[in-house]
Amino acid sequence: MAYQGILHRYGQLLDLPAHTQPVSLLEGNTPLIPLPRLGRELGCELFVKFEGLNPTGSFKDRGMTAAISEAVGRGAQTVICASTGNTAASAAAYAARSGLRAIVLIPEGKVAMGKLAGAVAYGAEVIQVQGSFDDALSLVVEITQKTQIALVNSINPYRIEGQKSAAFEICDDLTHAPDWLCLPVGNAGNITSYWAGFKQYNQLKASGLPQILGVQAAGAAPLVLGHPVDKPETVATAIRIGRPARGEQAIEAAQESNGMIIAVSDAEILSTQRILASEGIWVEPASAAGLAGLMARTATGEFDPRGKKIVVVCTGHGLKDPAIVTESFKSPEVIPATYLALSSLILK
Ligand code: AN7
């Protein structure tokens, strides 16, 4: 049967209320792409779980199909979220599909253009907040406590349920869990979901458990520093978050899995974005953090990838943030439309 989305494929394993009414854009079922060249360099079997290939270009669609399906079933008419961009675009799309009003709060001037454009295109009411993501999330929590508006940030437990599906897919594709899973950490919903998903699948199918490497940006690394960051700053705007809502669960996931949470610099994030692109995989900066962390720790000798099966999660597509690339290259060469001009340029 044709693929019908994650609620259809894995709904039995997700703890969703009976009133849930599926709203899907056929999210999930993303490819696990081998990186043989880089894997050989590192001495490991390396894969990218390319979550940028979801319907709105990020992993958020897995949790959003669940959260919106529950909200619709409960009779909600309006949903709201705070977002560094991807949650906003995803909430906007799933709300549009189900006829709900979507309101999204974003930190002023700090959201990549592809995400903002998505939220607008899908018809959300976009509001810029003079503050950080964390300030916007506090507002969202307050208004959803005082009104019937439904919250669709990853504080919403159904978001976590939906996002577990990525762990199930990886185990199904590899026939077992990898040795390591490396991923970026912002508000810490995704690391929480993966760990819950791997544990659940292991209980059901003895698929094994990965060690988890969570990676923050150095300028927004509350879980590495051990305290909130009031003014988070990083080129990876998706993870520019100083007070992760599920920070404790992220630390639990790292400890229970015998993994770790580390930070990488913006320079390391951007150089890893280029390395992934050189393998044909263009991701937004935050999405390069998992691999950046793996490579940085391998370079210092603190991590030994040799002989391991490693999955890096690339959470969002490069098209989300084209400016990061276009701002740093010079405009392409312009030539007259003649064979002579073309051949003298490229046949040196
Ligand atoms: C590409 O969209 O928080 O640790 O508001 O967009 O589960 O927060 C985005 C987060 C990683 C971090 N990669 O995931 C939002 C938002 C990308 C992201 C993360 C985000 P979490």
For residue range 195-217, what is the model confidence (pLDDT) as tens digits?
Answer: 999 999 999 999 999 999 999 99
Share of residues in the chain with pLDDT > 90 (%): 98
Residue 1 reports pLDDT greater than 90: no
Rg (alpha carbons) of the chain, rounded to whole number: 20
> How do residues 88-116 score in pLDDT, each as one tens digit?
999 999 999 999 999 999 999 999 999 99
Rounded to the nearest angstrom, the distance between the alpha carbon of 316 and the centre of ligand 1 is 9
Average pLDDT of the chain is 97
> How do residues 124-138 score in pLDDT, each as one tens digit?
999 999 999 999 999
Rounded to the nearest angstrom, the distance between the alpha carbon of 28 and the centre of ligand 1 is 16
Q: Confidence class of residue 41 from pLDDT cuts 50, 70 and 90?
A: very high
- pLDDT of amino acid 330: 84
Nearest to 220 by CA among 210, 209, 233, 208: 233
* Mean predicted confidence (pLDDT) in 47-69: 98
Q: Name residue 32's beta-bridge partners.
A: 49
> Using alpha carbons only, what angle is made at residue 313 by residues 308 and 314, rounded to the nearest 5 degrees?
135
Residue 329 reports pLDDT greater than 90: no
Longest CA span, the chain? 69
Q: Provide the pairing of β-strand 211-217 with 125-129.
A: unpaired
Rounded to the nearest angstrom, the distance between the alpha carbon of 87 and the centre of ligand 1 is 7
Q: Which 3 state secondary structure label does DSSP give 283?
A: strand
Pocket of ligand 1 (CB under 6 A): 58, 60, 83-87, 154, 184-191, 238-239, 284, 286-287, 315-316
